[in-house]
């Protein structure tokens, strides 16, 4: 910005952003135009670092769990070895996707689109392989009917190349519906539900990009003395831009003719806009159901990792896992009517503490008889104690205290043998 004073007095340079004019009724900003919010797509949402991080955490967490087949409820539930369990336990679910790729695709589809679709390939009535489809391939035409378009770059369950398959029903497609818009055939996409919030983050990133692109080695205002014409100022500006502006511009400015340079920093509006990076991280955690402390930015002091993982499993990841489990267990091709088993993700090892906490918990479980020493050693990948001594549970008597530590010595028997004599 070039400012030319009309007198020899002090020149005051003011700067403002167009966003400051909104308070006066200005509606000409690009993000305020009709249809501007519609530009927020899955691709643009993936460009928001905390959103992408939250989706990746959820997707990889689900992909890292084992899907088991259980029979019974609660403490009585036990693993079942049947053809469904063998299907779930395969390392490769199809020629395109490993087990990890498959579940990562399912959860990523739920996060970004609110719906996930699985193509079931059957033989003699049993599912022999299944394919997690990209949501762009699937269109819901009416209740319980979908159209799947196979094209280059996407999973091809049939293996016939580019084609469009219409009128597919639950015999072929397993639909996992996400949260929201209860009663609608499909759940809304979180990208559309939180469009305005994501649009602010996208606008912030575009704003920062424009600042870097147009930024110079020195950000300033130049004040000329009286007598400098507009044409002379314009000529001087062109020479300045050629010499100093851009990422490769010279960093030492030389001016003459009585001109003075005044540095210009970010306006308050620009500064607030840049600070929205933290706001977008908080929003990402709320939108995707992931604690903000796990998004690589410590906004608030976290109590501990175990606490954060426990909260996430109970209120964020857990309900999403149950949604997937119910959809799979209700599918009649995978679990025919009358079968007494169901699908369940094993989350026993998901919530973990630090090393010291884990060691203390293990010690207490051995001390109260929950685990035998050999069982605890097995969890650590260690062999059992010799002669079966580690198979004896260490149960503290009711009303008594834990066995004292004697630096390896055996404590004296409080009830010594009386050699058969009475008291």
Query: Model confidence over 119-156: pLDDT tens digits?
Result: 999 998 899 999 999 999 999 988 889 999 999 999 99
Query: For the chain (length 423 residues), average pLDDT per consecutive 10?
Result: 47 46 48 46 72 90 96 88 96 96 96 95 93 95 93 93 95 95 90 72 60 52 78 80 68 69 58 54 80 65 71 90 96 93 90 71 81 85 87 68 52 45 42
Cα–Cα distance, 368 to 202 (Å, whole number) = 55
Q: Which residue has the tokens 């009709």?
A: 34
270-287 burial code (b ≥16 CB/10 A, e <16): beebeebbebbbebbbeb
How far is the C-alpha of 161 from the C-alpha of 166, rounded, in Å? Answer: 15
Return all residues near 281 (Cβ < 8 A) that are at least 6 apart: 50, 292, 295, 297, 299
The whole-angstrom separation of Cα 392 and Cα 156 is: 56
Structure tokens at 42: 């899955």
Q: What is the pLDDT of residue 11?
A: 44
Token pair 């990562």: residue: 104
Q: pLDDT value at position 132?
A: 97
Per-residue DSSP letters for 271-288? HHHHTHHHHHHHHHHHHH
What is the C-alpha to C-alpha distance for residues 19 and 27, in angstroms, rounded to an integer? Answer: 9
How far apart (Å, rounded) are the C-alpha atoms in residues 47 and 198?
10
Query: What is the distance between the alpha carbons of residues 112 and 57, in angstroms, rounded to a whole number?
Result: 13
Locate 388 and state its tokens.
Answer: 């079966």
Side-chain half-sphere CA neighbours of 20 within 13 A: 9
Residue 111 near residue 135 (C-beta atoms within 8 A): no
Specify whether the CB–CB gap between 324 and 174 falls below 8 A. Answer: no
**How many of the other CB atoms lie within 10 Å of CB of 185?**
15
DSSP label at 387? G
Beta-carbon contacts of residue 257 (< 8 Å; ≥ 6 apart): 224, 225, 228
Give the tokens for residue 378.
């097995």
User: DSSP code of 69?
Assistant: E
User: What is the residue-wise DSSP string for 133-181?
Assistant: EPGGGEEEEETTEEEEEE-TTS--SS-S-SEEEEEE-TTTEEEEE-SSS
Answer whether 306's CB lies under 8 Å from 357's CB: yes
| Residue of 197, 241, 201 lying closest to 218 (CA atoms) | 241
Q: What is the pLDDT of residue 415?
A: 45
- pTM score: 0.64
Count of CA atoms in the C-beta half-sphere (13 A) of 258: 9
The DSSP secondary structure of 221-287, one letter per residue, reads: EEEEPTT--HHHHHHHHHHHHHHHBSTT--S-----TT-EEEE----HHHHHHHTHHHHHHHHHHHH
* Residue corresponding to tokens 């600042």: 211
| Size (the chain), residues | 423
Cα 47 to Cα 242: distance, rounded to the nearest angstrom: 33
Positive or negative, the CA dihedral 28, 33, 36, 37 is positive
What is d(CA 376, CA 370) in angstroms, rounded to the nearest whole number? 10
């Amino acid at each position: 910005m070039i400012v030319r004073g009309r007198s020899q007095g002090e020149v005051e340079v003011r700067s403002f952003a167009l966003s400051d004019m909104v308070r006066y009724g200005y509606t000409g900003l690009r993000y305020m135009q009709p249809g501007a919010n519609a530009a927020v797509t899955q691709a643009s949402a993936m460009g928001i670092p905390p959103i992408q991080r939250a989706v990746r955490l959820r997707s990889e967490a689900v992909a890292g769990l084992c899907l088991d087949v259980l029979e019974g409820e609660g403490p009585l539930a036990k693993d079942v070895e049947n053809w469904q369990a063998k299907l779930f336990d395969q390392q490769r679910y199809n020629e395109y996707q490993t087990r990890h790729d498959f579940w990562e695709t399912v959860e990523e589809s739920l996060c970004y689109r609110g719906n996930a679709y699985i193509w079931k390939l059957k033989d003699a009535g049993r599912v022999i392989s299944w394919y997690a489809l990209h949501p762009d391939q699937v269109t819901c035409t009416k209740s319980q009917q979908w159209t799947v378009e196979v094209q280059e770059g996407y999973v091809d369950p049939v293996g016939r190349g580019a084609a469009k398959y219409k009128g597919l029903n639950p015999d072929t497609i397993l639909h996992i519906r996400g949260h929201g818009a209860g009663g609608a055939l499909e759940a809304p996409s979180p990208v559309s539900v939180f469009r305005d919030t994501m649009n602010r983050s996208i606008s912030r990133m575009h704003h920062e990009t424009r600042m870097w692109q147009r930024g110079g080695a020195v950000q300033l205002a130049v004040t000329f003395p009286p007598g400098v014409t507009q044409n002379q100022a314009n000529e001087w500006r062109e020479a300045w831009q050629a010499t100093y502006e851009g990422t490769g511009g010279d960093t030492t400015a030389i001016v003459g003719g009585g001109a003075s340079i005044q540095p210009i920093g970010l306006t308050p509006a620009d500064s607030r806009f840049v600070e929205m990076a933290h706001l977008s991280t908080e929003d990402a955690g709320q939108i995707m159901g992931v604690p903000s402390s796990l998004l690589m930015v410590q906004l608030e002091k976290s109590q501990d990792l175990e606490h954060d993982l426990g909260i996430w499993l109970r209120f964020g990841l857990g309900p999403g896992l149950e949604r997937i489990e119910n959809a799979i267990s209700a599918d009649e091709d995978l679990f025919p009517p009358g079968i007494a088993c169901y699908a369940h993700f094993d989350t026993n090892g998901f919530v973990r503490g630090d090393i010291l906490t884990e060691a203390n918990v293990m010690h207490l479980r051995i001390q109260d008889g929950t685990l035998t020493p050999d069982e605890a050693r097995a969890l650590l990948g260690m062999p059992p104690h010799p002669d079966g001594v580690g198979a004896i549970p260490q149960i503290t008597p009711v009303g008594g205290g834990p066995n004292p530590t004697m630096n390896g010595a055996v404590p004296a028997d409080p009830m010594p043998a009386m050699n058969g004599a009475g008291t």
